[in-house]
Amino acid sequence: MSSDWPLTTLQKAGITLIDCDHKTPKAQSSGFPYIGIPQLKNGRIEIRGARLISKEDFDHWRRKAKPKANDVILSRRCNPGESAYVPEGMEIALGQNLVILRSDGTKVYPPFLRWLAQGPQWWSQVNQFRNVGAVFDSLKCAEIPKFEVRLPPIESQKIVSNILQSLDSKIEINQQINQTLEQMAQTFFKSWFVDFEPVKAKISALEAGGSEEDALLAAMQAISGKDAAQLAQLQAEHPDQYTELRTTAELFPSAMQDSELGEIPTGWNLSQIGDEVIVVGGGTPSTKNPAFWENGHIHWSSPRDMSNLRDKVLTDTERKITDAGVAKISSGLLPVNTVLMSSRAPVGYLALTKVPTAINQGYIALKCESALSPEFALQWCSANMNEIKSRASGTTFAEISKKNFKIIPVVVPSEDVIWEYSKHARRIYSQIENNVKETESLTNIRDTLLPKLLSGSLSIPSTEAENK
């Protein structure tokens, strides 16, 4: 048990605290990542969404606090005690109210530090030293090194780290796969419905004096990313796939027509998004009425749920609501595969619901019951996010109303093309959903093991026993 392990402070355990500069460099459109508190998520550093700064500022900010592999980045304010580890090869600069915790390796195995900073005894110390503020709670740099912890022997720390890291690695692999799948869905949509590449490929082939067959082959190349030789090989080795690709290419027109948005493929229509999907909002039943919340079993979502998503699928919500609570929300219980978009603070979080969900007033929800599929609508929102945000307004924070959202133009392809896209996109999001569910299971296992391993209530095999 941990009561048998020596009690010591972080400072005596060889943990050094390194503070950062207490100012913020100028942001720019490209450059080097400057990490703030919002980038600390679930024990990891999320580079996406970080402020980008110049090389000069990047070097300047790192001269005092230069993160190294296995360092723990700790938040002192807003979410005091929250932390994330620095993986091998990550080059970042640190924002205000973040500090580095670094082990010298004498009493704390460096990879073990990240797990120590997530356990129950850690949070007990955070609560003990927390300074309650009028707006934000905080931790003082002078007090963090005084945190008391019980440390297992170094060899046991290594075993604990390996157990937890093996689970964490599987989680990371799933998340990387999902990032790749999401990128595929985005690229797919942009090629077909933003850049009109299959259509333009046909036009170019015909303008060069080619035949209809040449135009069809050009579209097949645009859709598949294969050249003529690779298509010939596909036809020889996988004739069914070749036939399917050819059938898909035949769905695209070979000419463009004028519209208010400029040229769009012939036969496709210009409409408004509100005419193609059902746009609804949500609400929050009184939190003072227990009949709406106590023992709630129905998913109820606010944009807070979306802020923690790494993937554009919603499989769970932080809060649950009762049937009586749902009855107070005008949009009721939304079906699976509703597209959710946060409409304020900030505008633009996106996800497909994978469970029936009620929503609060911070959303615009798209129910796809006509030609446009949920996957199409999701990617349309993503591709048109700049336009969506440009229509938002507000003094305290930007918000887009349902009225302003509904009138945004949308190019509606033929039903056959939408169906073909949706068939592939649905397959992609099914894989993403499966990976998310597996990740949730692995995360639950890891988070269940963590306190037991750190407390010693789950025995840690000795290296001596392992070697026998």
Boundary-marking domain end, from 412, 431, 463: 412
For CA atoms 217, 220, 222, 228, the dihedral sign is negative
Claim to verify: residue 303 and residue 406 sit in the same structural domain: yes
Claim to verify: residue 252 and residue 325 sit in the same structural domain: no
Claim to verify: residue 282 and residue 387 sit in the same structural domain: yes
* Per-residue pLDDT tens over the stretch 3-16: 678 899 999 999 99
Residue 204 lies in a domain: yes
Claim to verify: residue 45 and residue 146 sit in the same structural domain: yes
Average pLDDT over residues 387-391: 96
Claim to verify: residue 391 and residue 279 sit in the same structural domain: yes
* Rounded Cα–Cα distance for residues 275 and 278 (Å): 8
Average pLDDT over residues 298-310: 92
Domain that holds residue 192: 175-268+418-439
* Per-residue pLDDT tens over the stretch 315-367: 999 999 999 999 999 999 999 999 999 999 899 999 999 999 999 999 999 99
Claim to verify: residue 238 and residue 295 sit in the same structural domain: no
> pLDDT at residue 110 above 80?
yes
Burial code (b: 16+ CB inside 10 Å, e: under 16) for 275-312 equals ebbebbbbebbeeeeeebbeebebbbbbbebbeeebbb
> pLDDT at residue 288 above 80?
yes
Structural tokens at position 348:
């633009």
In DSSP notation, 60-119 reads HHHTT----TT-EEEE-BSSTT-EEE--TT---EE-TTEEEEEE-SSSS-GGGHHHHTTS
Average pLDDT over residues 53-73: 95
**CATH code: domain of residue 286:** 3.90.220.20
Structural tokens at position 375:
């996957």
Residue 463 lies in a domain: no
CB 293 within 8 A of CB 287: yes
Residue 18 lies in a domain: yes
Average pLDDT along the chain: 94
For CA atoms 166, 168, 173, 177, the dihedral sign is positive
What whole-number percentage of the chain has pLDDT above 90?
88
Q: How many folded domains does the chain comprise?
A: 3
> pLDDT at residue 126 above 90?
yes
Claim to verify: residue 8 and residue 137 sit in the same structural domain: yes
Claim to verify: residue 217 and residue 182 sit in the same structural domain: yes
* Rounded Cα–Cα distance for residues 406 and 402 (Å): 6
Average pLDDT over residues 448-465: 76
Boundary-marking domain end, from 363, 395, 412: 412
Q: Which residue has the higher pLDDT, 462 or 215?
A: 215
Residue 163 lies in a domain: no
* Per-residue pLDDT tens over the stretch 406-439: 999 999 999 999 999 999 999 999 999 999 999 9
Nearest Cα to 307, choosing from 343, 350, 339, 338? 350
Claim to verify: residue 105 and residue 222 sit in the same structural domain: no
For CA atoms 412, 413, 415, 417, the dihedral sign is negative
- pLDDT band per the 50, 70, 90 thresholds, residue 467: very low
What whole-number percentage of the chain has pLDDT above 70?
97
